[in-house]
Amino acid sequence: MPTSPTSPLRQHTVVIVGGGAGGTAVAARLRRARPQLDIAVIDAATDHYYQPAWTLVGGGQYTAAATRRALRDCLPQGVAHIPARVQELAPDQRQVVLEDGTRVGYQFLVLAAGIQLDWDAIEGLSETLGKNGVTSNYRYDLAPYTWECVRRFGGGTALFTQPGTPLKCPGAPQKALYLAADHFRRRGISADLQFCTAGGAVFGVPFYAQALDRVMASYDAQVRLGHNLVAVNGAARLATFETVVDGKKQRTDIHFDMLHVVPPQSAPAFIRASALADANGWLEVDKHSLRHVRYADVFGLGDCTSTPNSKTAAAIKSQAPVLTENLLRAIDGQRDSAHYDGYAACPLTTSIGKVMLAEFSYGGVVAPSFAADPRVPRRFYWWLKKSFMPFLYWHIILKGRNWPVLHRTREYPAGVPSVQP
C-alpha cells in the first residue's frame, strides 16, 4: 500500500533538529538519563564547529582546524543521525518534513536549529567576501582571512560592523576590532579604527557598555552608532551605511582598507514559516521552561528561540540541563520543574592576553561566576577563553555531563573602574 502524504516514513520518540551545541548537548544528556530512549538528530552538516574560537582565529591566536570535528564523532552513540535539511515543520501532525519530502514523526520535538546568516541582505557583500580586504569571523573559511588582513594591514582605515538584528555572540564584532587594534599598536601601525553599529550602544548591558566605551577610547577607535551596513563595493573599497537623521534615512559611503562584516541574522526560514514562530519569526518558547507556548510537545534552545537572552554558547550550557529535565518530565507525564534564568556570557577579548568576562541574566542583571569586578580585563580570563572553555565545550557540554552553576547576582560600585585592555 502506498504511503499517505501525511504518514511519516520513520518515527522516533524524540527528534532534535540541529546538531550544533544545543542539539548535541541535549542528545547527550537525554542519552545519559535514558540510555534506551529513541532519539534522532536531523542535521545535514558533516562537521561540528567550536565557533566561539573563530574570533581568536581571526586574531591569529588559534588555528581554524582546531575548531572543527566530525559531527558523527560529537553525537552520542545510540543516537540516530539523519543527514538532511528540514523543509517544513508540521506540528499539528507531529512531523518534520525533509527537503526530499521524507516525513519524520515524533512524540517530542526539540528545535536547536541555530541562526541564519543573511549575507545577501547586504548588497555586493557575497561577491567580495574573502578578497579586497573584506572578511568576517562568522565563517570558518573566512576567519583565517581576517588574520591575513590584519597581518598585511599597513595603515589606513579599518572598519568593523555590527547589524541591528539579533545575532549570535553580540560581542564578537568588537572583539575583532580589539584584537586587530592590539596587533597594530604592538607593531606601531597607524590605523583609523571605526566601529559602525546599527545599535545605540557598543553592548546591550549598560554595566559592561560603559567599560567597553573606555576600551574603544584606549584604542582611539571611533564609535559610529546608528550606522547600518547596507552595501559593499569591494573593488572600490567603499562601504555604504544607512543612518537616520531627523527621521529620514540617508546613505553614507566610507572608504576602507580593511572591512570586517557581521551580517544581519534571523531565525531559520523553516521556523519563520511555521506555526511555531512568534511575530518576529523566532521559535516561541516560554523563557523559563523552554517549552513552546502553544505546542506542549515542542521544546527549543539556543539561537533560534524567542528567549530574550544573549545568543551565546554559554547560554546553551545553562539551557541544556533545564530543557532536558523538563522534557524528561514531559515524557513521564509530569509538569515542568527546571527554570532557566536567562544566563549568558561573553568573554570579550580586549587585547591579546586579556579578556573582560561579561556574564548576565535576564534583564541585564549582572551575574558573574567570580567575585572580582567583571568590568576589569584579566589575564586569567584569557586562559579561560583560549584553553579552558574549549575543553569545557568538547568534553563537558557536548558530552552531556553536569557542571556546577557558578554564576549569581552580585553588586559592584556604580563608577567604572580603571580599564587597561
Same fold, 10-116+266-331 and 119-264: yes
Q: For position 6, what pLDDT does the model report? A: 64
- Are 170 and 133 in contact by the 8 Å Cβ rule? The answer is no
Rg of the chain's alpha carbons, rounded to an integer?
A: 22
Which residues lie closer than 8 Å to 252 by C-beta, 6 or more apart?
Answer: 227, 240, 241, 243
Place of cell 557581521: 262
Average pLDDT, the chain: 96
Domain boundaries defined on the chain: 10-116+266-331, 119-264
Q: Strand, helix or coil at 108?
A: strand
Grid cell for residue 147? 588574520
Residue 4 reports pLDDT greater than 60: no
Average pLDDT over residues 139-159: 98
Chain centroid, CA 65 distance in Å: 19
pLDDT in tens, 165-196: 999 999 999 999 999 999 999 999 999 999 99
Helix axes 143-152, 172-186, angle to 10 degrees: 30
Asked if 120 contacts 107 with a C-beta cutoff of 8 angstroms, the reply is: no
346 phi/psi in degrees, rounded to 5 = -135, 100
Tell me if 341 sits within 8 A of 385, measured CB to CB.
Answer: no
Check whether 7 has a pLDDT greater than 70. no
pLDDT by residue (tens digit) across 346-384? 999 999 999 999 999 999 999 999 999 999 999 999 999
Using DSSP, state whether 352 is helix, strand or coil: coil
CATH fold, domain 119-264, is FAD/NAD(P)-binding domain (3.50.50)
- What amino acid occupies position 33? A
Residue closest to 317 by CA, chosen among 349, 356, 361, 355: 361
Query: Could you report the per-residue pLDDT of 52-106, keeping only the tens digit for each?
Result: 999 999 999 999 999 999 999 999 999 999 999 999 999 999 999 999 999 999 9
Instruction: Name the residues annotated as catalytic.
Output: 169, 346
CATH 3.50.50.60 fits 10-116+266-331, yes or no: yes
* CB of 252 closer than 8 Å to CB of 159: no
Nine-digit cell at 85?
Answer: 535539511
Are residues 41 and 27 in contact, defined by beta-carbon separation less than 8 angstroms? Answer: yes
Which pLDDT score is estimated for 414? 87
pLDDT per residue over 110-124, tens digit each? 999 999 999 999 999
Write down the H helix ranges in 161-281.
Answer: 172-186, 206-218, 269-272
pLDDT band at residue 246, thresholds of 50, 70 and 90? Answer: confident
Average pLDDT in the 315-329 region?
A: 98
Beta-strand runs (E) in 185-264:
191-197, 222-225, 228-233, 238-245, 248-255, 258-260
Q: Which amino acid is at 27?
A: A
